[in-house]
Structure 1
Amino acid sequence: MRLSLSAALAAIGILAGSAVSAACGNTSAGFEQWKASFAQTAQRAGVGQRGLQALASARYSNGTIAADRNQKSFKYSLEKFMQVRGSATIIAQGRKRLARDAKFYSALEEIYGVPAGVIIAIHGMETAFGGFMGDTPVVSAITTLAYDCRRSDFFIPHAIGALQLVDMGSITAATQGAKHGELGHTQFLPGNALRYGVDIDRNGRVDFYNQSDALASTANFLASKGWRRGAGFQQGQPNFAVIKEWNAATVYQQAIAIMGAEIMR
């Protein structure tokens, strides 16, 4: 079961032609005033009581702002990036995971067309296979970035998405994720989680902290972005551009392509 398409479209499209009346800011000073105004925008997007309560309890995240201003690893060379991010360990552990859960990954490829190596590489890169999924409340992180002037237009739809995920029971106000509000095993931004989430175990709830749901959702995201079944995913091949939809940093894309191939070798 996928999350509601109408809810997804509301989350992603809310900014078209509308603006939040409270000004953005680069310090915590105006955050509470901004939240009060943003609550009205959220209501117009269909956010319910639970989501609005989560917004009200959100706190300005200084750790999120510090992380946003200091993203050095994407400026490394490919060799340095792969060393820092532990590519050798990801490949070694990824091969073991593929051997152990071959039937699961084969089923994902059958449904979505995305090969196991790519999914496993993303899982390893993002959270060390679920070993660390973040230590910052998702709602606080994503609303801080929506308020922050640097990229507010990009993050506001994801803030709406996070509040709708609270309404749906996929996360709570206390759910922790990465410093930029990414959540779960593969670190979905909330708006993308809302739109591409898959309840692969059919328990009635999309849970990004459940490995099966998270990996199926990742495959669904890539398939929805144009993954071509059976086509290559190395640089210069058709599916390399789809990896860019997951992360815009070229060094990240290159690393996923290389590790994905090595895991399946």
Structure 2
Amino acid sequence: MFRLRTALTLCFALALPQIALAAQCGNDSAGFRAWKGEFAQEAKRAGVGKRGLEALAQAQYSTRTIAADRNQRSFKYSLDKFMQVRGADTIVAQGRRHKARNPEFYAALERQYGVPAGVLIAIHGMETGFGNFMGDTPVVSAITTLAYDCRRSDFFVPHAIGALKLVDHGAITGATLGARHGELGHTQFLPGNALTYGVDATGSGSVNFYNITDALASTANYLRQKGWRTGHGYQPGEPNFAMIREWNAASVYQQAIAIMAARIDR
């Protein structure tokens, strides 16, 4: 029977560094190599070590990441269309089965973090189909491509630093695959958030976001640290909906998670 261990938030990542954007961004692959050389100096100043810098040097400009970043159509759908396209009914049905197979696991998470099973299960199902597809793009290449790209460089630079520190500490390697925006693991953490909110729930000595126990404990910890209030509602207008908004900025995503979570926990 699963017994949730004391959460061990990564001690080296209590806060992400505030980094001046010294490296010159670009809008195509032409300047990526030069940018990496400049960014390596920023990374060193931010505390990235040898392994992280080696991963940066080996990173490749990801054209698939840029294409995905320019073409996020599903978030422009109506709520009903979004839920249809993302397979909400299937997520709910499978989510109920996941909960029924291991109720004590989810109960232990709720006791520790206050986050109901349905919320964690809905996020897990929405992000990766319960771990069935966790991405096809190297995390470091994807996130450094977005840090270099001028469109949202300031947002992605701290996450690029986070990814390199995750490499330093053995949580990922330069070859680890994730989503095309650099998200990783069962619930698709952006690297900076993984660094800050990751929990070693298995007691292995490191956080493994590709392990369901660590991933869901880390997700619950993220929501708790953002202000999740035990026993309060999470539908739009209720106190905990604000924390679902912290997880993803898209309104249709937020509403879909709240609806599916309630159906799973019904």
Quickly name the TM-score band, shorter chain normalised: over 0.9
Aligned partners of 2:21 and 2:154 also within 8 Å: no
What amino acid maps onto 2:190 in structure 1? L
Structure 1: how far apart are the matches of 2:106 and 2:79? 27
Aligned partners of 1:25 and 1:149 also within 8 Å: yes
Instruction: Report whether the alignment pairs 1:108 with 2:109.
Output: yes
**SS class of match (1:97):** helix
Alignment match of 2:13 (pick from 7, 26, 49): 7
Structure 2: how far apart are the matches of 1:97 and 1:136? 27
1:19 paired residue number: 21
**SS class of match (1:173):** coil
2:3 paired residue number: none
Aligned partners of 2:227 and 2:243 also within 8 Å: yes
Structure 1: how far apart are the matches of 2:44 and 2:25? 19
How has the CA–CA distance of structure 1 residues 8 and 59 changed in structure 2, closer, same or farther, with 3 Å as cutoff? farther
Structure 2: how far apart are the matches of 1:68 and 1:195? 24
Structure 1: how far apart are the matches of 2:203 and 2:257? 29
The alpha-carbon deviation at position 14 of structure 1 amounts to 2.7
What amino acid maps onto 1:220 in structure 2? N
Structure 1: how far apart are the matches of 2:229 and 2:50? 41
2:229 paired residue number: 228
**SS class of match (2:84):** helix
Q: How does 1:1-265 map to 2 (within 5 A)?
A: 1-4=8-11, 6-9=12-15, 12-15=16-19, 18-20=20-22, 22-265=23-266
The alpha-carbon deviation at position 2 of structure 1 amounts to 1.4
Structure 2: how far apart are the matches of 1:8 and 1:55? 22
**SS class of match (2:131):** coil
Structure 2: how far apart are the matches of 1:233 and 1:8? 26
Structure 2: how far apart are the matches of 1:23 and 1:46? 20
Aligned partners of 2:143 and 2:159 also within 8 Å: yes
The alpha-carbon deviation at position 247 of structure 1 amounts to 0.2
Structure 1: how far apart are the matches of 2:204 and 2:167? 17
Structure 2: how far apart are the matches of 1:217 and 1:100? 21
The alpha-carbon deviation at position 41 of structure 1 amounts to 0.4
The alpha-carbon deviation at position 25 of structure 1 amounts to 0.3
Structure 1: how far apart are the matches of 2:13 and 2:103? 34
Structure 1: how far apart are the matches of 2:13 and 2:254? 30
Structure 1: how far apart are the matches of 2:75 and 2:46? 34
Aligned partners of 2:95 and 2:125 also within 8 Å: yes
The alpha-carbon deviation at position 13 of structure 1 amounts to 2.4
Q: Runs of 5+ in structure 2 lacking a partner? A: 1-7
**SS class of match (2:100):** helix
TM-score (norm 2): 0.96
2:5 paired residue number: none
Partner deviation per Cα, 1:31-56 (whole Å, 9 max, x = no partner): 00000010000001110100000000
Structure 1: how far apart are the matches of 2:115 and 2:146? 31
Structure 1: how far apart are the matches of 2:17 and 2:38? 18
Structure 1: how far apart are the matches of 2:137 and 2:165? 19
Structure 2: how far apart are the matches of 1:19 and 1:156? 8
Number of aligned positions between the proteins: 259
Structure 1: how far apart are the matches of 2:13 and 2:133? 29
Partner deviation per Cα, 1:204-239 (whole Å, 9 max, x = no partner): 110000000000000000000000100000111111
2:4 paired residue number: none
